[in-house]
Structure 1
């Protein structure tokens, strides 16, 4: 291997080592937390570089670099392995009997439309084909909601409309009855979320939270995003109704923030043991990770889940069908939060609520 090749190999190895170690620090900065996202890509790159080192780098340098890259790959595998069929599942599959009880089932379609995307018809056609009980559109402005209402007003009885020009708009469309609906800026001004009660066809109810916190960016901290995700987790665990939390969390499924959310809420991730279901980026196949999520109470059973086709956005939509059982599956718990973690989380939330600032990224799609 030539000098340039050797320099490139060791530079990439150094980058992988830094990208692997820095997120372990739990420093709440976008430049650090963003390194959590491409762990699948890190794993593949580490494997490729390890092969190159063993083939092309002789002597003690190869003896050092090869095992180091294997270790880096093993760390990445530790994070991502449970999102493969090699891991046991958190969400329990619905039984045949429960699959026959259609009045206890709910289908949900979630889509980050990308505010500047004006291909309204792609999402509208998808909704018409899939016929979900609940459709959730994220990053909608007034024009988006107007197009959805014009085309789908006959499909859905209840609407929650939160048009917003800053990229944080929301729209929830439902065939099932919604009540006790709240639209709230949980942490950061002009970053709304929806909390509502959904009544199934048999009369039982569950709580639906639809969220879209801020993304991590290099020059900003992630405490707003982390606080909003954690606050929803704390609310869900105190809720008297079984909960579903859905939306673009601007975070990956294996991150410190999302794993803490699961411990705080006790909610299950249906991707565990089934697959990554990478939803972003729809435009760059080599850089994809799971940003769009659904977490559910242990009383729900999974009937189906799928990543759907492109709709002109930089996100793929997601499809879920769940059925509400009578009892929880306690052995499927994602873990429990201890007193110290809960206290630290509450302090972070209180600190963020006291800050008065504009949301991150509101000018990204200005024309």
Structure 2
């Protein structure tokens, strides 16, 4: 038990230190995803230490674990209801409530009807799918009678993306910020009650031993989106499978560069991946919004066979609100230069994706 305690202590120190090293290799970036699980493991190891208690020097390691627990806890508490964030009430001049669903459907998931039933039950105003290929596009055609407006990029490399809307699309663009096989959507919409907003859909590749060796393309793609968002004057929502967590350095740079707000702060983690393993579930399907967007509900929905849980959001658009604007953080000049460097590196990176991907 004593050797197990020492091994766990050293491992938890390593997993805490690795993300602090600003190296884009997946070995350094992947531990960022498990901050929630690492924090629970630290607490469990502290309890184990009290049970073992064989060495008079154990208090040194217990104190170290306590410092690690506080270090992680200070970050994670921001994404819980314990963190005070003012809630805003709808006003008479605001838009009607709007709803969207964002779902990484998992390209090889064949349970199309479960997803279609989810859409027909929840009746979102718009929904975005990621990893949707030709088979998924064909399966979703019955939904088009209720979702007259669409924007689609059908790919077989797990980076296809489809957008369906009951709200009128004024303009739609597909960006390829860092690679010609990684699309991002920019959709300009006009509601029936006269409110305009812009919906961005993103799905950059993850750093992992089975996909991209580094986070360069992911970070470059996200920060390119942030740079584009900053120049838009209308209300903005950015949604998708970020393959990133909100507390990572690149996510914080994204938030500051785009001048957007993270609605998870003061609310919950809204963990989505992996859908089948609750204890190994990370919040990587993210959302950010401008100060004109007000979130009333943000949650996950039931699993429909994918490896990601879908994200459901209920929001409304209001006119400029100085109090919510205080939640916007702006990047320093040094951070702006760092973001530009990450964009450049992302464009230079040569991703290793096939045109057609088959399930292993």
Aligned to 1:9: 5
Indicate the SS of the match to 2:81. coil
2:279 counterpart of 1:286: yes
Kindly indicate whether the alpha-carbon contact (under 8 Å) linking 1:309 and 1:316 is maintained by their aligned counterparts in 2: yes
Aligned to 1:123: 115
Kindly indicate whether the alpha-carbon contact (under 8 Å) linking 1:20 and 1:75 is maintained by their aligned counterparts in 2: no
Give the CA deviation at 1:334.
4.2
Which runs of 5 or more residues in structure 1 are unaligned? none
Give the CA deviation at 1:58.
3.2
2:79 counterpart of 1:83: yes
Kindly indicate whether the alpha-carbon contact (under 8 Å) linking 1:196 and 1:207 is maintained by their aligned counterparts in 2: yes
Indicate the SS of the match to 1:226. helix
Kindly indicate whether the alpha-carbon contact (under 8 Å) linking 2:253 and 2:339 is maintained by their aligned counterparts in 1: no
**C-alpha distance in 1 between matches for 2:348 and 2:32:** 27
Give 1:240-251 correspondences, 5 Å limit.
240-251=233-244
Aligned to 1:268: 261
2:206 counterpart of 1:215: yes
Per-residue CA distance 1:80-106 (angstroms, 9 max, x = gap): 1111111123xx6442435x95x4432
Q: TM-score, normalised by structure 2?
A: 0.94
Aligned to 1:252: 245
2:333 counterpart of 1:339: yes
Which runs of 5 or more residues in structure 2 are unaligned? none
Q: TM-score, normalised by structure 1?
A: 0.92
Aligned to 1:140: 132
Kindly indicate whether the alpha-carbon contact (under 8 Å) linking 1:189 and 1:358 is maintained by their aligned counterparts in 2: no
- Please identify, of 186-195 and 217-226, the stretch whose mean Cα deviation from structure 2 is larger: 217-226
Distance 1:253 1:361, change over 3 A: farther
**C-alpha distance in 2 between matches for 1:40 and 1:281:** 14
Give 1:1-367 correspondences, 5 Å limit.
5-89=1-85, 93-98=87-92, 103-149=95-141, 151-218=142-209, 220-328=213-321, 329-359=323-353, 363=357, 365-366=358-359
**C-alpha distance in 1 between matches for 2:21 and 2:103:** 32
Give the CA deviation at 1:48.
1.0
Per-residue CA distance 1:111-156 (angstroms, 9 max, x = gap): 110000010011100110111110111100001011101x201110
**C-alpha distance in 2 between matches for 1:189 and 1:96:** 41
Give the CA deviation at 1:232.
0.9
Kindly indicate whether the alpha-carbon contact (under 8 Å) linking 1:104 and 1:201 is maintained by their aligned counterparts in 2: no
Give the CA deviation at 1:332.
3.6
Per-residue CA distance 1:338-358 (angstroms, 9 max, x = gap): 111111211221232234444
**Aligned pair count?**
357
Distance 1:228 1:29, change over 3 A: same
What RMSD over aligned residues (CA atoms) do the two structures have, in Å? Answer: 1.9
Indicate the SS of the match to 2:247. coil
Distance 1:235 1:259, change over 3 A: same
